[in-house]
Amino acid sequence: MKTRIALRRRHYAFGAFATMTAIASRLLRESPMDLIENTESMLVNSGGDQRTFYEYVSDNLANVTDYPLKEEDTPVYWHIHKSGGTSMKDYYACMGLVEASEMGVIRHSDSEPELQVHDREGTYYVNVDVSRKEGSVRAKRLGLAKSGLADIFYTQFQFAAKLLFTPEYRGRVFTLLRHPVERSVSMFYYKQIASWENPRIYRPDLDGMNIGAWLKRGDFQDDVEAMYGNFMVARLVGGGPHNIDLTNDDLELAKDILRQKVLVGLITQIEESVNRFDKYFGWTLRQEEHPECFERFIRQGENINEHEHVQEGSDTWNKLAELAKYDVQLYEYALQLFDEQGKNLFGNDGATIDIGQ
């Protein structure tokens, strides 16, 4: 059974957290039914813990600049669909990391009474599914974070903040970001061919349809993915995928949370991003020992679906950008944050990190 990987240690100071104005704004906008449902969810999942989502984020997720990294902390990959997640999973599996992901239930029952690490042809995983809410609740009940069995979690931001970690056993979040319009386009065409996915994702009725025609059809509001326009902002501030009641206050709060709690990578600079991830978490030696993993899954990529592209500035692009206006602004901020983290955390000016350092 594998043990937790030793983490490299450095120290940096960190600034103030998000403004309370944005938090209060969200609380005031919640309907009475939302407040009841959220409170019930907290009680069910957290043993009577009635902290706000902001407090969960503050307490249970480590600041990016909070050094030294502790042995009790666990790397958490925030999997944003159609943003390189499959490549990241395959890459770290290739390097021998023990994962907590949907693999744990795909291959094993979620009713097993104890945590175990399984080996499937060289891929190591724990028998839990932290990609789902129910699986995350089970993982916390079984003490997954405390156990140290998983080297890396693949999950959603809100599950990491609220369900999986504690102030004693914190998550350290990193992710790859993609322009929201490109992500939406990729998801639309993926839904046409993904027959292996569940009916919520696979949409054979869209087969052969152009995304511009789909938008002009006018019924896209009924498609669940259309509600993901501001997916990143909604998840960072504690909303679900259908949360459309977002404001500029939410955007500013999401920016602060992203800056404080997320090590940012970009699809457009995936090699640089992965080098940063590996250096931050102390995985560079593994990368050097397994160069074939980087070549196959990062340079070449996995789960790449060739499809029609949308030209920036076109009517279709502008419509999708409007649907995702807050995510677009968050992404633009992330571009700046990527450069800042490169300078402040890794001591470079954007050049590729020397992983041998």
The region of weakest confidence among 174-183, 194-203, 257-266, 319-328 is: 194-203
Q: What pLDDT was estimated at residue 2?
A: 36
d(CA 103, CA 149): 15
Mean of the pLDDT values across residues 34-57? 58
Rounded to the nearest 5 percent, the helix, strand and coil shares of the chain are 50, 10, 40
Whether the CB-CB separation of 226 and 306 falls below 8 Å is answered with no
Tens of pLDDT along 123-165? Answer: 899 999 999 999 999 999 999 999 999 999 999 999 999 999 9
Q: What pLDDT was estimated at residue 235?
A: 93
Please provide the average confidence, as pLDDT, over all residues in the chain.
81
> In this model, does residue 28 exceed pLDDT 70?
no
> In this model, does residue 273 exceed pLDDT 70?
yes
pLDDT band at 191 (very low <50, low <70, confident <90, very high): confident
Strands 123-126 and 117-120, how do they pair?
Answer: antiparallel
For residue 252, the number of C-alpha atoms closer than 13 Å in the C-beta half-sphere is: 13
Whether the CB-CB separation of 126 and 116 falls below 8 Å is answered with yes
d(CA 171, CA 164): 8
pLDDT band at 222 (very low <50, low <70, confident <90, very high): low
Q: Which domains does the chain have, with CATH numbers?
A: 65-97+151-346 (3.40.50.300)
Compute the C-alpha angle 287/150/354, nearest 5°.
Answer: 20
> In this model, does residue 62 exceed pLDDT 70?
yes
Mean of the pLDDT values across residues 277-302? 90
Q: What pLDDT was estimated at residue 345?
A: 94
> In this model, does residue 233 exceed pLDDT 80?
yes
239 or 3, greater pLDDT: 239
> In this model, does residue 39 exceed pLDDT 50?
no
The region of weakest confidence among 15-29, 290-304, 317-331 is: 15-29
Q: What pLDDT was estimated at residue 242?
A: 52
Q: What pLDDT was estimated at residue 343?
A: 95
pLDDT band at 68 (very low <50, low <70, confident <90, very high): confident
pLDDT band at 110 (very low <50, low <70, confident <90, very high): low
Q: What pLDDT was estimated at residue 82?
A: 85
Torsion sign, CA atoms 299, 334, 84, 73:
positive
d(CA 122, CA 237): 37
Beta bridge partners, 152, equal 99
The region of weakest confidence among 79-83, 190-194, 216-220, 228-232 is: 216-220
d(CA 27, CA 24): 5
Tell me how far CA of residue 213 lies from CA of 14, 310, 314, 328, in angstroms.
47, 12, 13, 22
Task: Give the list of residues 6+ apart from residue 235 with CB closer than 8 angstroms, or none.
Answer: 156, 157, 158, 241
The region of weakest confidence among 193-202, 228-237, 254-263 is: 193-202
How does 34-67 read in b/e, with b if 16+ C-beta sit within 10 Å? eeeebeeebeebeeeeeeebbebbbebbbbbbbb
The region of weakest confidence among 73-77, 88-92, 109-113, 134-138 is: 109-113
Whether the CB-CB separation of 152 and 97 falls below 8 Å is answered with yes
The region of weakest confidence among 5-19, 21-35, 107-121 is: 5-19
Q: What pLDDT was estimated at residue 216?
A: 85
Q: What pLDDT was estimated at residue 143?
A: 96
Single out the residue of 72, 56, 64 nearest to residue 14, CA to CA.
Answer: 64
> In this model, does residue 51 exceed pLDDT 70?
yes
d(CA 154, CA 173): 10
